[in-house]
Amino acid sequence: MKLSLSHYLIRCEREHGIESDLRLLLETVARACKSISHAVNKGALGNVLGSTGTINVQGEAQKKLDVLSNEILFEANCWGGYLAGMASEEMDGPVGIPLAYPRGKYLLLFDPLDGSSNIDVNVSIGTIFSVLRSPSSEEDAGEAAFMQQGTRQMCAGYTVYGPQTLLVLSVGHGVQVFTLDRDTGSFLMTQSNVRIPADTREFAINMSNVRHWDAPVRRYVDELLAGRTGPRGVDFNMRWVASMVADVHRIMTRGGIFMYPRDARDPTRAGRLRLMYEGNPMAYLIEQAGGAATNGERRILEIQPATLHERVAVFLGSRNEVERVTGYHNA
């Protein structure tokens, strides 16, 4: 019989001493993700496709599912008593716990619906989340409380709403994959201790931005494109879903390197992806699976955040490739 998420988390509590409140928080997040999965599956029948006509804090047009997923996660997590605050890619600043409910010791961060451009075209999308310890459970967490390095994350995970709904989770003891069983409504473990191969012949990058890249990224990608007759001496294949969850999940499954570098379109931005909602949780999971994750120069998990919505360049996946492209930056 397959192990359920609940059973796995109880085991982690007994064997690795994870706190019971953290376990209960993760059960709540997983429940919320099931509701999001349900809404995603309904699509046009649930009137959840299309835009709201509003712009989020990132300056991006919000989709109905962005807003709905954000509400589902917030409402599911505000009353349990486990959190001192939440921060979401879709909200301007940290959100406190309503006064009616007790405060807890954790901070929850999430990108409620990653890969928004794929919502309306029925391509895989997902939710990304991570948990930090709150410096204080006495008062609502302000932005400063969230400004912790990724190494301080207590756990991280993502769901993929694709042909199957998957929950990929690490509580600091490797990466486990759970598949949603729609008959029973349970997440059941379908892969344990995921390991990313150190070598790969597959890369993921939005090639349409090539003219904006820095020299080290161009050099690295040019070498991949040159294939068997180039300096690498082998052919490489390319995949780009344009949903980070789906691209990262492919790497979790068979290796690869994912890149979203900083580029010259907006030199004030360190990249497109968000450090707190995308970079840090994914870097944590990738490292837990034996891969590497850098911003081109150093470990993403060691970056000291300065603001909640800051951006980061991302190079993650199979260790030897991430080390190579990082080496080109640091040469």
List the structure tokens of 21. 């409140």
Q: What is the closest distance, in whole angstroms, from the C-beta atom of residue 80 to ligand F6P in the complex?
A: 28
Instruction: Determine contact, residues 64/188, Cβ cutoff 8 Å.
Output: no
Which residue's Cβ lies closest to ligand F6P? 244
Q: What is the closest distance, in whole angstroms, from the C-beta atom of residue 89 to ligand F6P in the complex?
A: 8
103 vs 272 by CB, closer to ligand F6P: 272
28 vs 70 by CB, closer to ligand F6P: 70
Q: What is the closest distance, in whole angstroms, from the C-beta atom of residue 283 to ligand F6P in the complex?
A: 14
Q: What is the closest distance, in whole angstroms, from the C-beta atom of residue 266 to ligand F6P in the complex?
A: 13
List the structure tokens of 318. 């199979």
Angle at alpha carbon of residue 152, lines to 156 and 98, rounded to 5°: 70
Sign of CA dihedral 272, 309, 328, 247: negative
200 vs 243 by CB, closer to ligand F6P: 243
Burial of residue 56 (CB within 10 Å: 0-12, 13-18, 19+) is buried
70 vs 134 by CB, closer to ligand F6P: 70
Q: What is the largest CA-CA distance in the chain?
A: 66
Neighbouring-strand partners of residue 132: 107
List the structure tokens of 216. 């080290």
116 vs 127 by CB, closer to ligand F6P: 116
Q: What is the closest distance, in whole angstroms, from the C-beta atom of residue 267 to ligand F6P in the complex?
A: 17
Q: What is the closest distance, in whole angstroms, from the C-beta atom of residue 116 to ligand F6P in the complex?
A: 6
Q: What is the closest distance, in whole angstroms, from the C-beta atom of residue 234 to ligand F6P in the complex?
A: 25
List the structure tokens of 245. 């969850």
Residue with tokens 């991949």: 224
Nearest to 194 by CA among 171, 210, 218, 170: 170
Query: How far is 98 from 272, CA to CA, in rounded Å?
Result: 32
168 vs 188 by CB, closer to ligand F6P: 168
Query: How far is 260 from 228, CA to CA, in rounded Å?
Result: 25
Instruction: Determine contact, residues 188/4, Cβ cutoff 8 Å.
Output: yes
48 vs 244 by CB, closer to ligand F6P: 244
Binding site for ligand F6P (CB under 6 A): 114-117, 206, 242-244, 247, 272-273
